[in-house]
Amino acid sequence: MQIYKNNQNISSRLRINNKKLFLAFGVLITLIIIIASLIFIFNDVASQVDKIVKEESGAENTPEGIQNIYNILEDSSTSKEEKYQSLQKLSFYFSDAYSQTHDPKFKDYSINVIGKYAEENFPSLYNPTDFDMACADPVCGQELTPEIKDILDLIKNSDMANIEKRVIVFNLEVAGYMPEDQIDYRGSIFSMSYFDLISTANPTASRAAKLLKDYAESKYNLDITIIY
């Protein structure tokens, strides 16, 4: 009887161990599937990034900075925080491209591709503002008015220092594309640009400043000689 009892205990233990082994194996398979799914999803995002970067830059290979981001996202030893931060950096690339071109596809891509990937894979860290950007294109905002275009052309064709020219042109383009109802924000940029123009002591810049001042007053009833 004792031998039979011991055999029964052994059989029971074997069944329990087999169940544990089966459960462990099942968990392992599930983890492998999840990891493989994440890699597949990320690879899809990476391929889309590569496509748009190469189209815009004419580069044949992935830029080093973006490849480094891929490496972080694919490295199993990096933390969730590091991976999420790398996605923010990736979004910043598109934010910079959006600022330079005012092409809505960069804004949409950051929100709907990179941001969506971040939301699905790092929900505890995700913040939509990390992947959105202020409107600066004619789709979400408005077309540049003829007056703003004339001011921009005057600045671009001036003999101002290039670094001053680039900053002022960039800011005025952003203000020009803004939705009509963003008066305060537009006023702040107009005011800053006005003072940047007159501080150069450049005759062409002074003409552009006068045109900008008159435009702000007639179009938006703004006195941009006041710091907003």
Residues 81-104 pLDDT 10s: 999 999 998 898 888 888 888 889
Residue ranges per domain, the chain? 33-130, 146-220
Rounded CA-CA distance 190/205 in Å is 14
The SS3 of residue 136 is: coil
Q: How many contiguous H segments (helices) and E segments (strands) does the chain have?
A: 9, 0
For residue 166, give the nearest of 100, 93, 92 by alpha carbon: 100
Contact 197, 185 (CB under 8 A): no
**pLDDT (0 to 100) of residue 4:** 43
For 51-74, b/e burial (b = at least 16 CB within 10 A) is ebbeeeeeeeebeeebeebbebbe
Rounded CA-CA distance 218/210 in Å is 12
**pLDDT (0 to 100) of residue 38:** 39
Contact 46, 70 (CB under 8 A): yes
Question: Which residue bears the tokens 């969730």?
Answer: 80
pLDDT above 50: residue 40:
no
pLDDT (mean) for 132-151: 93
CA 108 to chain centre: 9
pTM for this entry = 0.66
pLDDT: is 129 or 16 the higher one?
129
pLDDT above 80: residue 44:
no
Rounded CA-CA distance 99/107 in Å is 9
Rounded CA-CA distance 130/139 in Å is 21
| Residue 125, burial from CB neighbour count under 10 angstroms (0-12, 13-18, 19+) | middle
